[in-house]
Amino acid sequence: MDADAPVNDKPSTLPWLMQFAVPLAALVTFGVHWPISKKAPAVETHSYMLLFWEIIAVSIVLAIAQRFWPALRHWMRHMWPIFTAAILSFGVWDVITAGLHLLPLPYFPAPAAVLRSLISDRALLADSTLHSLVLLLSGYTLGVIIGLVSGVCIGWSSAMRYWGMPLLKVVGPIPATAWIPLAMVVAPSSIVSAVGLIALAVWFPVTMLTASGISNTRASYLDVARTLGAGRLYLIFRVAIPAAIPNIFIGLFMGLGASFLTLVVAESVGVKSGLGWYVSWAQGWAEYGKVFAALIIMAAFFSTVMTLLFKLRDRVLVWQKGTIKW
Amino acid sequence: MPNVAASGVRADGVCKSFPVPDAPGTNRMALGGISFSIAAGELVSLVGPSGCGKSTLLRLIAGLDVSDSGELFVGNEKIAGPNAERGLVFQDPNLFPWLTVRRNIEAGLVARGVLHEKRSEVREFMRLVGLEAFANSYPHHLSGGMSQRVALARALINHPKVLLLDEPLGALDAFTRMRMQDEVLRLWENRRTTMLLVTHDIDEAIYMSDRILIMTPAPGRIDREIDIDLARPRDRTGDSFLHFRGEILGHLHFAGNTAEISV
pLDDT digits (tens, 9 = 90+) for B203-254: 888 898 989 988 887 788 787 888 888 778 888 888 888 888 888 888 877 6
Please provide residue A229's backbone torsions phi and psi, each rounded to the nearest 5 degrees: 100, 20
Per the domain annotation, does A11 fall within a domain?
no
Q: Establish if A9 belongs to a structural domain.
A: no
Asked if residue B259 has pLDDT above 50, the reply is no
Residue A6 falls inside a structural domain: no
- B105: closest chain A residue by CA: A228
**Phi, psi values for residue B150, rounded to 5°:** -60, -45
**Looking at the 3D structure of chain B, how many domains does it have?**
2
Average pLDDT across chain B, whole number? 84
Bridge partners for B27 per DSSP: B19
Residue B188 located in a structural domain: yes
Q: What is the pLDDT of residue B223?
A: 79
Neighbours of A4 (CB within 10 A): 6
Q: Which domain holds residue B121?
A: 9-229
A189 and A310: one domain? Answer: yes
Contact A318, A303 (CB under 8 A): no
Which of A105, A131, A152 lies at the terminal end of a domain, its last residue? A105
Domain total in chain A: 2
In the structure, what pLDDT confidence band is assigned to residue B55 with cuts at 50, 70 and 90?
confident
With an 8 Å Cβ cutoff, is A225 touching chain B?
yes
B24 and B91 in one domain? yes
Q: Looking at the structure, do residues A85 and A175 belong to the same domain, yes or no? A: no
Put simply, whether the predicted model's pTM sits higher than 0.95 gets the answer no
Peptide bond before B219: cis, by omega within 30 degrees of 0?
Answer: yes
**For residue A5, what pLDDT is reported?**
46
* Statement to judge: residues A94 and A189 lie in one domain: no
Q: Quick one: B205 and B240 in the same domain?
A: no
Between B217 and A176, the more confident residue is A176
Residues A130 and A270 in one domain: yes
Q: Do A319 and B140 touch (CB under 8 A)?
A: yes
| Same domain assignment for residues B95 and B187 | yes
- A133 and A30 share one domain: no
Of the residues A56, A78, A105, the one at which a domain ends: A105
Interatomic CA distance for residues B124 and A258, integer angstroms? 50
Contact between A234 and B110 using a beta-carbon 8 Å cutoff: yes
Q: Is B78 exposed, middle or buried (0-12, 13-18, 19+ CB in 10 A)?
A: exposed
Q: A78 pLDDT exceeds 70?
A: yes
In a domain, B79, yes or no: yes
Q: Please tell me the predicted confidence (pLDDT) of residue B261.
A: 39
> Residues B116, B206: one domain?
yes
Q: How far apart, in whole angstroms, are the C-alpha atoms of residue B242 and residue B168?
A: 23
Report ipTM for this prediction.
0.86
Cα-flanking dihedrals φ and ψ of residue B78, to 5°?
Answer: -75, 140
How far apart are the C-alpha atoms of A100 and A115, rounded to whole Å?
Answer: 19
**pLDDT of residue A228 exceeding 60:** yes
What would the pLDDT profile of B80-125 be if each residue is shown by its tens digit?
Answer: 888 888 999 998 999 999 999 999 999 999 988 888 888 888 988 8
Q: Are residues B262 and B178 in the same domain?
A: no
Largest CA distance in chain A: 81
Q: Evaluate whether residue B105 is within a structural domain.
A: yes
Reduce the secondary structure of chain B to three states and give it as a string. Answer: CCCCCCCCEEEEEEEEEEECCCCCCCEEEEEEEEEEEECCCCEEEEECCCCCCHHHHHHHHHCCCCCCEEEEEECCEECCCCCCCEEEECCCCCCCCCCCHHHHHHHHHHHHCCHHHHHHHHHHHHHHCCCHHHCCCCHHHCCHHHHHHHHHHHHHCCCCCEEEEECCCCCCCHHHHHHHHHHHHHHHHHHCCEEEEEECCHHHHHHHCCEEEEEECCCEEEEEEEECCCCCCCCCCCHHHHHHHHHHHHHCCCCCHHHHHHC
Domain range holding A131? 122-320
Same domain, B118 and B180: yes
Same domain, B174 and B255: no
Chain A partners within 8 Å of B153 (Cβ) = none
- On whether the CB atoms of residues B176 and B144 are closer than 8 A, the answer is yes
Q: Which B positions 21-60 lie with beta carbon below 8 A of chain A?
A: 59
Contact across the interface for A320 and B140, Cβ inside 8 Å: yes
User: What is residue B3's predicted lDDT score, i.e. its pLDDT?
Assistant: 47
Among chain A residues, CA nearest to B139? A319
